[in-house]
Amino acid sequence: MFEFHQDRHTYFEIQVKNSRESVIPFVETYLSLPPGAKIMEVGCGEGGVLKAFIEKGYTAVGIEIEERRLLLGQEWMDEEVKAGKMRFINDDIFKVLPSQPTELFHLIILKDVIEHIGEKEKLIAQLKKNLHPDGAIFFGFPPWQMPFGGHQQMCNNKYLSRTPWLHLLPRFLYKKILKRYKEPVVELLDIYDCRLSIEGFERIAKSGNFRIIGKKHFLIAPIYKYKFGLKERKQLPILRNIPFFRNFFTTAVYYLIAPNK
């Protein structure tokens, strides 16, 4: 496991910086957020992504199922919470939204989350109900077939954590290896079962009656600047336009989608 995965505060700061320098500029290229816009993030972790949006004068709601991470976020964003600029909700997204009065958001964020969710179509349909008429949903995720699309960097064994495309082994063999080295089998197999490709995401968006208003594919993901000291690189056009094959060499994608009118 890489050091920044163990040090939650370092990772929180990485998320803040990446949001400031990459996520927000991408969103603002395609979406004009009004002053005081309401932002919601699904799977917000400690709230690092949202902190950068709050710095721009927006208000935020973060939904996080892991209480441990939420409590850290409340500690590190104590001022924002007390000022009413940030609200954390500790629950499953499929329980939260249907159980509360409909609250509309100008932007909904799912960053490194959609690839962990099994019922993607159901989630997107629910999020549409919570979207402001002029709003949009941001997705950022690693395509399944990319070198570390299985999140095997979470492994404790240094060799497994650095083995590209390990997750593309047949499921039974992948499971056997994970068990052999006492890795987080359940969590990694959940990612295996929920895997998402570029083409799969675009199909889901289309079937949910959404249109893509902005997209960006990366050869080197923006967050790698902070994790590994690598400069962000957009995907080469020749690779970006080859379906399926592009998934193997695209380390991250950004999408902004809005309902068809």
Domains by residue range for the chain, with CATH: 3-144+195-259 (3.40.50.150), 152-191 (no CATH)
Q: Tell me how far apart the terminal alpha carbons of the chain are, to the nearest angstrom.
A: 45
Amino acid at 30: Y
Separation CA 124–CA 128 (nearest Å): 6
- Predicted confidence at residue 101, as pLDDT, reads 62
- Predicted confidence at residue 3, as pLDDT, reads 54
Higher pLDDT, 95 or 162: 162
Q: In the chain, pLDDT over 90 holds for what percent of residues?
A: 90
- Predicted confidence at residue 94, as pLDDT, reads 86
- Predicted confidence at residue 93, as pLDDT, reads 87
Helix axis angle, 67-76 to 8-18, nearest 10°: 70
Separation CA 7–CA 138 (nearest Å): 26
**Which pLDDT band holds residue 228 (cuts at 50, 70, 90)?**
confident
The structure tokens listed for 84 are 């009413």
Average pLDDT over residues 232-257: 96
- Predicted confidence at residue 27, as pLDDT, reads 98
pLDDT digits (tens, 9 = 90+) for 11-46: 999 999 999 999 999 999 999 999 999 999 999 999
Query: Is residue 124 classed as helix, strand or coil in its secondary structure?
Result: helix
- Predicted confidence at residue 179, as pLDDT, reads 97
pLDDT digits (tens, 9 = 90+) for 67-105: 999 999 999 999 999 999 999 999 988 888 766 667 899
**Which pLDDT band holds residue 4 (cuts at 50, 70, 90)?**
low
Instruction: Tokens 């996080």: give the residue.
Output: 64
How far apart, in Å, are the Cα atoms of 83 and each of 20, 57, 58, 72, 130? Answer: 21, 12, 12, 17, 24
Average pLDDT over residues 217-242: 94
User: Quick check: 242 pLDDT over 60?
Assistant: yes
The HSE-up count of residue 235 (CA atoms within 13 Å, CB side) is: 23
- Predicted confidence at residue 33, as pLDDT, reads 97
